[in-house]
Amino acid sequence: MKGLDIMLNPKVTAVVGVSTSNPFSPGNVIFRKLCFENGLPTYPINPRGGTVEGQKVYKSLSEAPNDIEMVVISVPARFVPSVLEDCGQKKIKAVIVVSGGFSETGESGSSLQDEIIEIAKKHGITMVGPNCIGVFVPDRLDTFFLPSERVARTRKGSVVLISQSGGWLIERLEEFASRDVGVAAAISIGNAAQTKVYDFIEHFGNDNEVTAIVCYIEGFGEGEGRKFAKISSKVAEKKPVIVLKGGQSEAGHRATQSHTSSLAGSAQVTSAAFKQFGVIEAADEDEVMAYSKVFSFPFRPMKKNRLGCLTVSGGHGVIATDEADYYGLEFPQFTEEDQEAMRKMVTEAYQGIASFRNPCDLTGSASDVDYEGVLRVMLNIDYVDAALLLLLPYAPGISLQIGARVANVAKTKSKPIVAYVPDLDKYEVIIRGFEINGIPCADTIEEAVQMLNGIWKRSQYLHRVGKL
């Protein structure tokens, strides 16, 4: 869609629905962001005219200059059709409708929504919304009607977020910011009257700077599920498509009707379809975070589902074993020969107290050198497809340089590696050492296993379609 290119990178914008009396109205918040934070030439529109933030307010789009590329509409629902007609007359091809009061409200709203769909179609307008909070592209575009000081903004990155729920999207941006996961764009599609989630999946599937696409979906309109599956399966051959599906329970199904008026569908049917077409389904928001983070790093596939685990705490190894079993990941027992090879890599004084089965527990006596040496052997084992590193830096022999040192070992192999390091300020140097060298760090053992589960899910699909 050419309109999406314009929408995500407009040169000149307009906001219809600014107020000359209420500086905190949604239209005014959006206007200030576009004009002052994004530095975009932006025209405020209100039938009463006047001035806003020292700028002339045009009484209509027809009176505004002709260089407008994208319009944000924030007016009562009943006025949206006429504003869209004005957009069409002005040859504007990208519109975001943040206004509510459409199909989510019932029959009368549905009729109004049908009307704006027809107007957009007639004029070739790419329309996002209605009933959405807008679009956010770091360092370029922010049409969220929430004040910037109240919402975290992530750094520019490679993960795209697409959501039918504005509130869910805002929470993910907060979490992404706290975990230092960057986004390429965050899209609130609301009722998705015209532009659907699969339109954005297709668009970002062709963007080489995007490494993963994450979607929150409550359901599909009539016939849309098949198109979603077809597009997602093609994109999934190039990059992961991750979905959290709302409305899975009967109560949740009813709730979607009053939120975005989507058809939730059967949980069993949709989950089976997701798996068939290569979509990675997240069970909850924790998995969304785990998959988003691991796929923001360069992808290394797994041949099978066998993990090698290296820890300095036996208890953490037990927890990891339980988590891996839950996700269908295996910890194969190391052979006596491989155990002996790992034992020789450990400081002689501690060889008798460490355990070299799987998980491999080096105990709290381990040092950086021990950890590096054992990992080097573990990565050479042909029945180990990925490594899980459980690193508690409380051990006196573990230094702040352990992340960078282990990463240097990892670079010699193509197998995926995920680390668990407690997310504490005092360990920031360790985490940074891992992550700037391509090894994602989880802040819980469960999340580390979830990351590897995401890699395995993606690897399975790529094996199946012959891309590995």
pLDDT at 33: 96
- Separation CA 458–CA 96 (nearest Å): 33
CB proximity list for 351: less than 8 A, separation 6 or greater: 343, 344
pLDDT at 1: 64
Interval 58-67: pLDDT, tens? 999 999 999 9
Report the chain's mean pLDDT, rounded to a whole number: 93
Mean pLDDT of 391-405: 89
pLDDT at 251: 45
Interval 31-52: pLDDT, tens? 999 999 999 999 999 999 999 9
Query: What share of the chain in percent tops pLDDT 90?
Result: 87
- Separation CA 177–CA 180 (nearest Å): 5
Instruction: Evaluate if residue 257 carries a pLDDT over 80.
Output: no
pLDDT at 223: 87
Interval 142-194: pLDDT, tens? 999 998 888 888 999 999 999 999 999 999 999 999 999 999 999 999 999 99
Contact 310, 387 (CB under 8 A): yes
- Token representation of residue 101: 């009061």
pLDDT at 4: 97
pLDDT at 306: 98
pLDDT at 247: 64
User: Whole-model pTM?
Assistant: 0.94
Angle between helices 166-178 and 285-294 (to 10 degrees): 50
Residue carrying the six token digits 């796929």: 295
pLDDT at 152: 82
Instruction: Evaluate if residue 426 carries a pLDDT over 50.
Output: yes
Q: How many residues does the chain have?
A: 468
- Vertex 359: Cα angle to 355 and 360 (nearest 5): 40
Query: Could you give the residue ranges of the DSSP H alpha helices within 277-350?
Result: 285-294, 314-326, 336-343
- Separation CA 371–CA 165 (nearest Å): 44
Sign (positive or negative) of CA dihedral 266, 270, 271, 273: positive
Instruction: Evaluate if residue 248 carries a pLDDT over 90.
Output: no
The H or E element spanning position 417 is: strand 417-420
Domains annotated for the chain, with CATH where assigned, are 1-131 (3.40.50.720), 152-296 (3.40.50.261), 307-464 (3.40.50.261)
Residue 7 one-letter amino acid: M
Instruction: Evaluate if residue 259 carries a pLDDT over 50.
Output: no
Contact 309, 358 (CB under 8 A): yes
Mean pLDDT of 94-99: 98
Mean pLDDT of 387-412: 91
Select from 360, 388, 399, 372 the least CA-distant residue to 450.
388
Interval 279-294: pLDDT, tens? 999 999 999 999 999 9
